[in-house]
Amino acid sequence: MDQRPGAAIESVPDTEEFLGDVIAGLSATPRTLPCKYFYDQEGSRLFDAICDLDEYYLTRTEIAILEAESGDLARHVGESSVLIEYGSGSSRKTRLLLDHLESPAAYVPIDISREHLLDAVVRLRGRYPSLRILPVVADYTAQFALPRDLPDARRVAFFPGSTIGNFAPEEARAFLARIARTVRAGGGLLIGVDLKKDAETLEAAYDDASGVTAAFNRNVLVRMVHELDAELDPERFAHTATWNEAEGRVEMHLVSEGRQVVRVGGVDFRFEPGDRIWTESSYKYTLDGFARLAAGAGFRVEKVWTDPRQRFSLQYLVASPPLR
Ligand SMILES: C[S@@+](CC[C@H](N)C(=O)[O-])C[C@H]1O[C@@H](n2cnc3c(N)ncnc32)[C@H](O)[C@@H]1O
């Protein structure tokens, strides 16, 4: 029997929106595809595999901070709070928090990858039988509502994984400002923010030797074939990851391995050898740079935890009252 609970809301891109975004992205200069389309069930599985790679220091460093600082983190989140997680994926890191939280009022995991989210919720219900879990299947870059039966309690958002790095700085500011409005003045945001470091470490993290990140990057092409009947061979695009020092971001691209035509939605897109599709950015921050970004979104940094090598940070931000 399928024991997965229904999700509170379904507001994820449908096939028409996916097609529209693909045609708009491939028609633009430079050519782009939105990174949210990496994540169907296979994309989420590949992302979980990335998290276990030696090169991907982000997950194990953030988990080490969560484990070492669990008591302090739980004190900041506070008693009887509603925990709202953006891009919860497998909720693996959340378990480290939930294990230490004092009587959480509810947990609201939000993710675009429906099956993966609902599978994670089944596992969480088994582990925390008395916790109110209210999953929301949504594209968090679009408008969506929180569950109507959300308890009226202090709200704390959780946004780990340095997923904030996938937004360009102005988009990141606008996104954080939306979270500030959601948690309301005095509410909190516990966020994982990856820090600037040497190019070699950064590029290896997004281009592992075993090719898992390459498969993750190509998954958007695989989805175009399966869901949009696109005529293309994903294997004729190579994966690259490069640190762009001037912009402070790692860029992932898919590079055409020859002359080819991609046909999707009745439109032909011609590629010469070496032509690129830009699929993801991962912006990296300094602690000061992120504090400025957060301040512009209405958040004050209350506490920062880092690992001894200052590779990654977890930060607790408090939402300020809106300016009149
Ligand atoms: C980089 S992964 C991080 C997963 C997990 N939070 C962690 O820290 O390991 C990004 C997560 O956000 C979800 N996601 C990406 N774009 C999204 C969007 N636009 N709306 C909702 N969820 C999204 C993905 O499905 C994935 O679970």
What confidence tens digit (pLDDT) does each residue in 91-112 have? 999 999 999 999 999 999 999 9
Residues 196-253: tens digit of each pLDDT? 999 999 999 999 999 999 999 999 999 999 999 999 999 999 999 999 999 999 999 9
Q: What is the mean pLDDT of residues 3-31?
A: 86
Return the pLDDT at 2.
46
Give the distance (Å) from ligand 1 centre to CA of residue 164: 10
Q: What is the pLDDT of residues 262-315, one digit of tens each?
A: 999 999 999 999 999 999 999 999 999 999 999 999 999 999 999 999 999 999
Looking at every residue in the chain, the average pLDDT score rounds to 96
Q: Which residues pair with 250 in a beta bridge?
A: 243, 282
C-alpha 88 to ligand 1 mean position (Å): 6
The DSSP string of 280-317 is: EEEE-B-HHHHHHHHHHTTEEEEEEEE-TT--EEEEEE
Residue 166 CA, closest ligand 1 atom number: 1
Q: How far is the CA of 89 from the centre of ligand 1 (A)?
A: 6
**pLDDT reading at 3 higher than 50:** no
Q: Which domains does the chain have, with CATH numbers?
A: 12-52+212-283 (no CATH), 57-198+285-319 (3.40.50.150)
Instruction: Categorize the per-residue pLDDT at 4 as very low, low, confident or very high, splitting at 50, 70 and 90.
Output: low
In one letter, which amino acid is 4? Answer: R
pLDDT at position 129: 97
Compute φ and ψ for 242, nearest 5 degrees.
-135, 140
107, 94 Cβ separation under 8 angstroms: yes
Q: Which residues line ligand 1 (CB under 6 A)?
A: 36, 39, 44, 47, 51, 59, 87-89, 93, 111-113, 139-141, 160-161, 163
- Beta strands in 13-104, from DSSP E residues, in sequence order: 82-86
Is it the case that residue 1 has pLDDT exceeding 50?
no
Cα dist. 226→220, 245, 305 in Å?
Answer: 10, 36, 42
Q: Cα angle at 240 between 235 and 243, to 5 degrees?
A: 170
- pLDDT category, 5, cuts 50, 70, 90? low
Over the stretch 62-73, which tens digit does the pLDDT of each residue have? Answer: 999 999 999 999
* 107 CA → ligand 1 middle, Å: 16
Report CA 100 to chain centroid distance, whole Å: 23
Strand ranges (E), 139-184:
155-159
When pLDDT is cut at 50, 70 and 90, the band that residue 11 belongs to is: confident
- Max distance between CA atoms of the chain, in angstroms, equals 59
Q: Indicate the range of 156-160, 196-200, 208-212, 320-324 predicted with least confidence.
A: 320-324
Write the residue with the smallest CA distance to atom 27 of ligand 1.
89
pLDDT at residue 7 tops 90: no
Question: Which residue's C-alpha comes closest to atom 19 of ligand 1?
Answer: 139
Output the CA 231–ligand 1 centroid distance in Å: 28
**Residue 70 and residue 96 in contact, taking contact as beta carbons nearer than 8 Å:** yes
At residue 6, the pLDDT reads 60
In percent, the amount of the chain with pLDDT more than 90 equals 94
Atom of ligand 1 nearest to the CA of 142: 19
β-bridge mates for residue 136, sequence order: 110
Pocket perturbation via mutation, ligand 1, pick of 36, 108, 116 by most ligand atoms within 8 A of CB: 36
Predicted local distance difference test score (pLDDT) of residue 321: 81
Mutate to test the pocket of ligand 1, among 39, 114, 118, 171 (most ligand atoms within 8 A of CB): 39
Distance of CA 138 to the CA centre of its chain: 13
Within 8 A by CB and 6+ apart from 193, the residues are 162, 164, 165, 285, 290, 312, 313, 314, 315
